[in-house]
Structure 1
Amino acid sequence: MTSVSRFARITGTGSYLPPRRITNHDLVADLAQRGVQTSDEWIVERTGIHARHFADEGVTSSDLGLQASLQAIAAAGIAAQDIDLIIVATSTPDMVFPSTAAILQNKLGITNGCPVFDVQAVCSGFVYALTVADAMIRAGNARRALVVGAEVFSRILDFQDRTTCVLFGDGAGAVVLEASDTPGILASDLHADGRYTDILCVPGHVSGGKVLGSPLLTMDGQAVFKLAVGVLEKVAHATLAKAGLDERAIDWLIPHQANIRIMQSTARKLKLPMDKVIVTVHDHGNTSAASIPLALDYGVRSGQVQPGQNVLLEGVGGGFTWGAVLVKM
């Protein structure tokens, strides 16, 4: 008997940004009232960010993830009940437990008993989650997976720290990944180095009904930048090598949308012009685990990313984590 190879392909994408759009000018005015001085020019020059979206009070990661998921499910042409695996990548879960994925499952009305769980790898979370979903589909443990990146980073920002509070925003992106007899996820490569946990972290935790430590984001920007530009090139080449390809095979690069300078540096090292890079950081800011699926959905819906093209997704995040996935759309 001949065994049939089993692969996984992205069949639908979706995204959602909360309606409240905060421009640099809006943020600069708000920070000035707090006694923090910055400017639109300072933010744009260092990051490329012009605006970001903040969720209203009471709106959670699962709420954002729900809207992105409904889009992805509709784009895939399936029903929510057809989903048999949900993975949510988030660093800003709705609660300590249960998982945001379980809350999302309920909001989607999925009652088929499918497994659900969260992945926490910060800005690399979506790449990690997509790799796990691919492995589970290939192993026969799922047929249709919903993979979501959803964040409300505005809840963990220190608005007295101009070096971090200007960077982040809220949003969600999602994909439906389905079993296929033709390859879709061509290769992936994941890494982490826990020696650098302190350069990007939220060091607080809940104990005895109180928050111990700081519940706000802290970051050593120079250290993160230096590590990011180095590992993104290496993980891209490692992923391409696993697929038996080189940079010439990349139709689109969709990096984690953290900083335009990091993206420009990565593109140069991969010998890619910027017109082959999907860029949304100017309007979304850094939405952590949501940034890659947000940018992917933008690329698909704008008509830039076409079926059959090779798309390289890659990101870095607190942990320190990094990874890449090469996708044939």
Structure 2
Amino acid sequence: MGVESIPRTLLPLKIIATGTALPPKCVESSVLDRQLNKPNGYVEKRSGIIHRFHASNDASQAELAAAAIEDALVRHNVASDSIDLLISASAIAIQALPFSAAHILKVAKLPAGMASFDINTSCVSFISALQVAAGLLNSGVYQRIAIVSADIASRGIDWNDEESSLIFGDGAACVIVERGDGQSGILSYLMETYPEGSELCEIRAGGTRRNPRAGINDSDFLFRMQGKKLFRQASALIESFLSRLLFAGGVSLAQINTVVPHQASHLSLEHMRKRLGVKPEALIDIYRYRGNQVAASIPSALHEAAINGRLNRGQRVMLIGTAAGLTLGGMVLVS
């Protein structure tokens, strides 16, 4: 049975605004060459990044998130008091308690007392949040929802680990959604977790597993990644995952107008082009100028698609990525 013969129900959802925010410090790969005592061009060749942005050690993650929200509101002339739910969809918490959305709401230009909560599925948190938002909007509980992803990955970099230290950048992105008229929405959503890979990408501290009473080292606060093993596991899973995501949406890859992937690494994006067969003109690639922004990567790339006319009415857009866990997340939208 062909995918076109399978009836699909569109879950209504309309993106009405997008925005981003970046820290002021732009870090060229040539600067890291000198910092790490490497020959000229080494970091760019190894990481695939021309520059990325790093926050200062005292910068506020909540304020970075609030700046992305403000950019979305102002850019699209959306009234702040029209938002009735804030979802923080970040991989890295501001602190263990309270939840990050409360910190963001405290500094954002949004009404005090509004509903807020966090969703965290690491680098694919935004995809999870978009699905939850669609369900809430269609239940009638909320009318307009702001989803913001903000991560300061640079604060957890272990500069002794060359494999992971070169690829991360900081940033935030906000997407504002409402139910819309039912002509746009979600065709399919898929999330899968393979916990045998849970130790391949982690920050051990920040919860009950590693703390002063359970035992903790300074290195537990830093990001750890077994990159080669992680890439092998993700690569072995992603092709069949993509097939299931597309089948659930009743579409083929050729019918997807725009692909918005997690900007994990230059290798992962090249895998998208070569192994998965994503056409270069369909792929949104901001990695060379942002690096891996963790959960902020996908909504930042979605914003890039929006401002470049890649979210035109009626077009099919696919969000896809892999994350710590090991988790795979994907969504097919009609814009």
Deviations 1:121-154 (A, max 9, x none): 2111111221221222222222211111110001
Partner of 2:7: none
Quote the Cα distance in structure 2 between the aligned partners of 1:40 and 1:15: 31
Deviations 1:163-202 (A, max 9, x none): 1110101001110010123132222111112221110001
Q: 1:139 to 1:211 in 2, by over 3 A?
A: farther
Quote the Cα distance in structure 2 between the aligned partners of 1:88 and 1:40: 39
Partner of 2:271: 265
Q: 1:315 to 1:40 in 2, by over 3 A?
A: farther
Partner of 1:13: 18
Contact 1:80–1:109, Cα closer than 8 Å, also in 2: yes
Deviations 1:186-224 (A, max 9, x none): 221111122211100011246348981411111111111
Written as runs of structure 1 = structure 2, the 5 A alignment for 1:207-222 is 207-208=211-212, 212-213=216-217, 214-222=220-228
Contact 2:101–2:117, Cα closer than 8 Å, also in 1: yes
Q: 1:252 to 1:211 in 2, by over 3 A?
A: farther
Give SS of 1:136's match. helix
Deviations 1:219-253 (A, max 9, x none): 11111111223333333322222221111221111
How far did 1:11 drift?
1.0
Unmatched tracts of structure 2, length 5 or more: 1-9
Quote the Cα distance in structure 1 between the aligned partners of 2:311 and 2:47: 25
The answer to whether 1:136 aligns with 2:144 is no
Q: 1:157 to 1:115 in 2, by over 3 A?
A: same
Quote the Cα distance in structure 2 between the aligned partners of 1:308 and 1:158: 44
Q: 1:230 aligns with which of 221, 236, 239?
A: 236
Contact 2:11–2:185, Cα closer than 8 Å, also in 1: no
Q: In percent, how many aligned pairs have the same letter?
A: 27
The answer to whether 1:288 aligns with 2:294 is yes
Partner of 1:322: 328
Quote the Cα distance in structure 2 between the aligned partners of 1:15 and 1:121: 20
Q: 1:14 to 1:193 in 2, by over 3 A?
A: same
Partner of 2:6: none
Q: 1:251 to 1:139 in 2, by over 3 A?
A: same
Q: Over aligned residue pairs, what C-alpha RMSD do you find? A: 2.1
Comparing 112-121 and 155-164, the one that deviates more: 112-121
Comparing 17-26 and 86-95, the one that deviates more: 86-95
- TM-score when normalising by structure 2: 0.88
Partner of 1:28: 33
Contact 2:30–2:43, Cα closer than 8 Å, also in 1: no
Unmatched tracts of structure 1, length 5 or more: 33-37
Partner of 1:35: none
